[in-house]
Every structure is written in C-alpha cells, then in structure tokens.
Structure 1
C-alpha cells in the first residue's frame, strides 16, 4: 500500500492471495462487529483419518454470533457408504452448540448433497442458478435449538 499521492494505485489480478485474504478477513470482521455486536468469527474443522493416517473426510466452517456456517464437507469415495458424512456433520453441529450456536447454514450444488442435508433436518431457503452443467447452488438452514435425537 502506498501513501504517496503522486503514485497511481496498482490493481493486481491473480490467484488466491493469502495476505489479501487475511487483511480482508480482519477488515470485514471489524466492520461487521459494529452493526451486529458479534465478536469476530472463529474457524471450525472436523477431520477423520484412517489407521494409516490417510484422510477419510472432513468439514471446514466457522462460527459467528450464534451462527455456524459450513464451507466444505467431503468424504472420500470408498468411505461414503460408511456413515462418515453424518458423523462429521453431527460432530460439527455438536461443536457449534458448544460454542453457543443455535443455527447453521450451508450451500450445496444440486449434483452434490442437498438431499443429505435435508435428511439431517436442513430446509432449503433459496437457490442460485447458473452453475455449470445446468445445476444450481442450494442454500440450506437448520435450527440447532434442540439436540438431534440419536434414537
């Protein structure tokens, strides 16, 4: 960043910029704190490795102001019928509750897993068309007010 007003600003376009991401997170987090009163968001992850230390699957997301946002949930192909997706999701929801969250949101392309989330109590709140292949991005929401029954 330059402070010399005689020098023209520089516009740079490229791949993901870790420094830029960190600075935007900090700046937007500070901005969001004012109108919401919510402290900066915290990251969340759930990871499952097999006995050989290879990744079976995991989830990344965040918690902020009572809301949990799921960014990614993935389970490797040979483990998708073993219930790991459900266990990972339920673990993330339990951690979100522990952090004081009472709701969770996620989006999933129509060719991914919207039905999986719906089976876990998520309701669709909207869609964005225009995903390659004629697909849509499905937005889902769940109240975490009461723990999910395990019976």
Structure 2
C-alpha cells in the first residue's frame, strides 16, 4: 500500500514551528530523562526607564544557554555586559545549573566571553560576510 504525502516549502509557518517545538521537546525529554526547559531574562534600565541592555537565556537539565545579550551603544564601556553576564550566571546557579553555553559571531563578542571564563568548543563556518559562529562553554563554580 502506497501512502500519499505532500511536501511543500514556503514562507515561515508559525503553526509548524510550534508543532515541531512540541515534538522535539518531547523527544529530547525522553532521550535525556524528563528535564523541563525553562527561560529567564536579565535587564538594566536607565533613569528614564529606557532599556540599557538585557540578556535572555534558557535552562535545561543543569545546562544554561545564553540566547541574546545586548547593551546599548552609549553604555558599552560602562561594564553592563559583564554585570548582565554575572547576574545570568547567578540566576543559572539558582536554577540548579552547573554549566553554561553561548555562541557569538566573530564580529560580535567571543573575546568578551573568553575574558569571562568561557572556552571555545567549536565554530560554524560560512556566516555571511566571512564571519564564523563561535561556540563557547563554561563550568559554573
């Protein structure tokens, strides 16, 4: 018996993305033992309540991963990136994590993460503009 399948490609599909996330999360939880994934954020605002910088991250089975870290251009020399990262490490430990990962394009901040104790574990080549995506890891003390 032959089944009829249809393969389509097109624009982003939020419904498909949601379904794939649900299916992969269930698969991953089964593969590693039920280890729910969660998220957290850290933000800093100025006196006018304008965003100075922020960080978003996830946790999963003792591992924390930084998704995004950004600091406003006029505040980058003020140490806010380091303070955001330190706060994220503290929050990750509070959530039971003992290690952290992040990736950063070569034109962004891999040196910043190395300065804060992260070690490079690999690179993805072929990023637009001739850049590379640097993957970094840190054991949280």
Q: What is the TM-score of this pair, normalised by structure 2?
A: 0.90
CA deviation after TM superposition for structure 1 residue 18, in Å = 3.6
Q: Show the counterpart of 1:35.
A: 31
- In 2: Cα distance, 1:96 partner to 1:18 partner: 29
Q: CA RMSD in A?
A: 1.6
Instruction: Using the TM superposition, give the Cα deviation of residue 11 of structure 1 relative to its aligned residue in structure 2, in angstroms.
Output: 2.4
User: Deviation string for 1:48-90 (max 9, x for gaps)?
Assistant: 1112121111111200010001111000100101111001111
Following TM superposition, the consecutive aligned residue runs of length 4 or more in structure 1 with deviations greater than 4 angstroms are: none
Aligned to 1:142: 138
Give the alignment partner of residue 55 of structure 1, picking from 51, 55, 59: 51
Say which SS state the counterpart of residue 42 (structure 1) adopts: strand
Alignment gaps of 5+ in structure 2: none
Cα distance in 1, alignment partners of residues 91 and 39 from structure 2: 11
1: CA distance, partners of 2:124 / 2:9 = 29
- Return the offset for 1:24: 2.1
Deviations along 1:75-111, one digit per CA (max 9) or x if unpaired, are 0100101111001111111110001000000000111
Decide whether aligned partners of structure 1 residues 120 and 53 sit closer, same or farther in structure 2, where only a CA change above 3 A counts.
same
Question: What is the CA–CA distance in structure 2 between the aligned matches of 1:93 and 1:36, rounded to whole Å?
Answer: 23
**Distance of 1:106 and 1:61 partners within structure 2:** 9
Q: 1:10 Cα shift? A: 6.3
For 1:58 and 1:111, the matched residues in 2 are separated by 19
Partners in 2 of 1:10 and 1:70 — Cα distance? 34
Q: Secondary structure at the match of 1:44?
A: strand
- Equivalent residues in 2 for 1:1-150, closer than 5 Å: 9=6, 11-15=8-12, 17-144=13-140, 146=141
Give the 3-state SS of the residue equivalent to 2:22 in structure 1: helix
**Equivalenced residues, count:** 139
- List per-residue Cα deviations over 1:21-44 (Å, max 9, x = no partner): 332222111110111014221012
User: Counterpart in 2 of 1:149?
Assistant: none
